[in-house]
Chain A
Amino acid sequence: MRRYLWFALLLLPFLLSPFPFYVTLLNFFAIAALVALSLYVLTGLGGMTSFAQAAFMGVAAYATALLTTRAGVSPWAGLALGLGLTLAFALVLGLLTVRLKGHFLPLSTIAWQVALYILAGNLVGLTGGHTGLTDLPALSLGSFSLDSPFRYAFLSLFLLALLVLALHNLRESRLGRALLALRGDALTAASFGVDPAALRLKAFLLAGGIAGLAGFLYAHFLRFVNPTPFSLEASIKYLVMAVAGGVGTIPGVLLGSALFTGLEDWLKDLLPLLLGRQGNYETIAYGLVLAGILLFAPQGLWPLLAGKRAFGRPALPEAKPLPQRPPSGRRGEVVLEARGLRKAFGGLLAVNGVSFALRRGEILALIGPNGAGKSTTFNLVTGALPPDGGQVFLFGQEVTGLPPYRVHPLGLGRTFQHPHIFPEMTVLENAALATYARTRAGFLQVLFGLHRKEEARALATALEALRRVGLGELALERADRLTAGQQRLLELARLLASGAEVLLLDEPGAGLRAGEKRELAKLLLALAREGYSVLLVDHDMDLVMGLADRVVVMNYGEKIAEGTPEEVQKNPLVRAAYLGEVEAA
């Protein structure tokens, strides 16, 4: 079990025990690494960031300091209160910002960070102002007092190793995949059942909690708190650590934390000497290092050191796939119905009163010239856009205006006009993203590694779907190695892995070679025979006419014809729309 090697960190205090100064630094490293890892969750996985991690530390540090020095209770009660308070702060801030565009959250964290720092300095009666609070009790485990840096290092490093394990678990779970997907493309993630706001909020809470834990450790290590270590500059220092080492990988974040813990000490001695004045000049170095990293090595130092070697899963999953409910129900029953859909963008009426019904086991094609409103119709049906009027029913249940992450679990899956795949994940992980709505493990289960069985079955499901579309051999490749045609197939595999029975395919044939198109047609026909229902949009008339049972033709946002391919081809309105013939009527 390679992952338990992280506990070898606990040997470091022994190695460094002849050098008391380095043992102290070791504690600072462990605490800094905890905070930096909280940014791995936010920035590395979730594509958000926070400039308030030091403030979260501060909230927990002051909570435990006040409780232990004023009320004289156990530090562990201080930990509980500290974590509770940081989570409460993170909850309020998160609730206010997770539904907004990506930059509102980090910006708001700057403001909160500054406000909390000012309060810590000015609420003198409570916090002791800039002098701070002194004489915090030492932590003890039973009768074993952690009163020296050497002893304390075991606790801080143990917690660090534990967190590293937990975050490894998170990365290799449905939640880790969903967070990565959310960062790249929220709409795709939502189309597979991920509620973006809820997941972001949970990640933000987790990050806040980790920072709170670090603050607790910090307070009882120094046994003294004042506002300085919880300033905006400190928050930025942690961000610099994470980004410089490589915020997308756990070893990178640890590397950055180690480098900067050492560097900080050195800079604090050196810069005032160089400049001949006292002051927080190390911020200049932080800022410039951050700028340099962002410009020259945006992925951080670790990927440069580790090379392009993928640290992925070494073997294919062998577990039993998730239970597949085969499409059941009477062939020919209506599974998806649109009634009078309407959508306007400003003055442009993109979809105007479009109705159609998709029956079980049929392939229905939606065709029309460019700008006819086909893709908008797709987005209205899948919940990506709310309609201005009309209704959508899925399996008889009204889903009008529901967001995609609520529509998908009912049994509807979609692909996109341009394949939406995640280049930094493997092909297998891309497909496994689709099992999100069919799996249950929550944050706590995942962090403690209690999701592995379910995870193995999810991956097996993904692999099975990949084999079905002919991508089984490429499962462990990075997804950006795929050709355009293979990316289309990957999207299809994702649908199969998701367990959806109603498949909406947006131009599945685009970018495919003739041979690949024939394979695609064969696959779709087989799926329809099994009871899947397919609604597809495509421009390729040969593909559509050879494949579809029925065709709906749109032009200028309206349905102009519906029927079998033969009927539609003879329809004068359709011919006029496509060929510009003078209308016969």
Chain B
Amino acid sequence: MDATILGLLLLDGVQNGVIYGLLALAMVLVFAVTRVILVPIGELMMFAPLSFVWLQGGKLPGTLWLALALGALWALLERGRGRGLPLVGGAGLLLLFLLARGSPALAYLAALLLVVYLGVATYRVFFQPMRAASPEGEHRGATVLALLIMAVGLHVAYQGLGLVFFGPEQFRPDPLLQGEVVVGLTWQGALVLAFALLSAAALYLFFRRSLFGKALLAAAENRLGARLCGIRPEEAGMVAFAIAGLMAALSGLLLAPLINAAYFMGFMLGLKAFVAAILGGLVSYPVAFFGAVLVGLFESFTSFYASAYKEALVFLLLVPALFYQSLRAKGVEE
């Protein structure tokens, strides 16, 4: 291996790694606030570029109808003024999609907002009723398990729907920026890197500096306590899903011109992010992010040496990650 190849592999690894990192941050955030392990994040991520491609082709994507259907259920579940958000949001989304056909800038925005809306509606319709029904505290372990089963169920459902909406083909939307900075690093790739670092920094500032971010974390730590302080846990959950949806959609839109987009591709990206999140024990944001970069590098080098197995080899990283967490574990969890 010479220096050029080494450089290319490093670049490739970091570029993919930061995207895994963003997904991992979103997963840790959602888990911290809602105890949901967001397995369908990969599908949310792929829905954005695929919907974008459909809009560019002048068609309305099936994801729009999915989002509107879930939005309608969301509105049914709310009472009084709470219905405003899903109804106005759904109507706005429909209008935006009708206007965005053929207009790339609007289509970008539409695809982004679609995934955010879909993310929030998913939480409100599927996860929040489960959390409300289950007693907090003593049986929380069972609840995390039930939430996980739900998340996995939604993953297969959304993936199947992705196949119905978009078919099995891969699509490569036009990049926002054309050309290369240096050999091996496109401007689009540089954009991905910049976006990832900016998002990580923004999340850090949001949780460390803003009152609302702190309130979200408080709701994550102790629902009852947060409620007593005037923070509604339902709201916190919806905000967490909105942030996760936003990050997934942006990552998807930026990454798709580099790696293509297809209905089945999100899941593997999400799983790799999950490996990184495990490195951080699903609690540490920085470890999850840097773990993700490590996963990206590992993957890039294994694909050079054993490309057929690279997807399987990534999961080998789980072994040291779990072993490390196991050593740190307390004797008996309460």
Contact = CB atoms under 8 A, between A and B. Distances in A.
A104 B164 contact: no
B315 interface: yes
Interface in B98-149: 126, 129-130, 133, 138-139, 141-142, 144-146, 148-149
A332 to B, nearest CB: 33
A133 interface: no
Interface in B147-203: 148-150, 152-161, 163-164, 167-168
Given A47-B142, A100-B326, A115-B315, A280 B160 contact: yes
A110 interface: yes
Interface stretch (A236-244, A352-360, A536-544): A236-244
B324 to A, nearest CB: 10
B160 to A, nearest CB: 4
Nearest to A240: B153
B334 A186 contact: yes
Interface in B301-315: 308-309, 311-315
Interface string B248-273: 00000000000000000000100100
A67 to B, nearest CB: 23
B148 A103 contact: yes
A278 B133 CA distance: 39
Nearest to A275: B164
B322 to A, nearest CB: 4
B37 A107 contact: yes
Contact of A104 (B133, B168, B278): B278
A118 B311 contact: yes
Contacts of B156: 232-233, 236, 283-284, 286-287
B271 A111 contact: yes
A43 B146 CA distance: 10
Nearest to B142: A47
A51 interface: yes
Contact of A284 (B129, B164, B318): B164
Interface in A517-548: none
Contacts of A295: 126, 129-130
B145 A287 contact: no
Contacts, number: 167
A190 interface: yes
Interface in A190-247: 190, 196, 232-233, 236, 239-240, 243
B164 A111 contact: no
Nearest to B320: A96
Interface string A313-349: 0000000000000000000000000000000000000
B119 to A, nearest CB: 16
Nearest to A235: B152
A279 interface: yes
A114 interface: yes
28 contacts: A49-B149, A100-B326, A104-B322, A106-B145, A107-B274, A111-B274, A111-B275, A111-B318, A114-B315, A115-B314, A118-B311, A186-B141, A186-B333, A187-B333, A236-B153, A279-B160, A280-B160, A281-B164, A282-B160, A284-B157, A284-B161, A287-B154, A287-B155, A287-B160, A291-B150, A291-B157, A384-B332, A405-B332
Interface of B: 37, 39, 126, 129-130, 133, 138-139, 141-142, 144-146, 148-150, 152-161, 163-164, 167-168, 268, 271, 274-275, 278, 282, 308-309, 311-316, 318-319, 322-323, 325-326, 329, 331-334
Given A104-B278, A282-B160, A287-B156, 19 more contacts: A47-B142, A96-B322, A104-B325, A112-B318, A184-B138, A196-B333, A236-B153, A243-B149, A277-B164, A279-B160, A279-B163, A279-B168, A283-B157, A283-B159, A286-B157, A287-B155, A287-B157, A294-B150, A295-B130
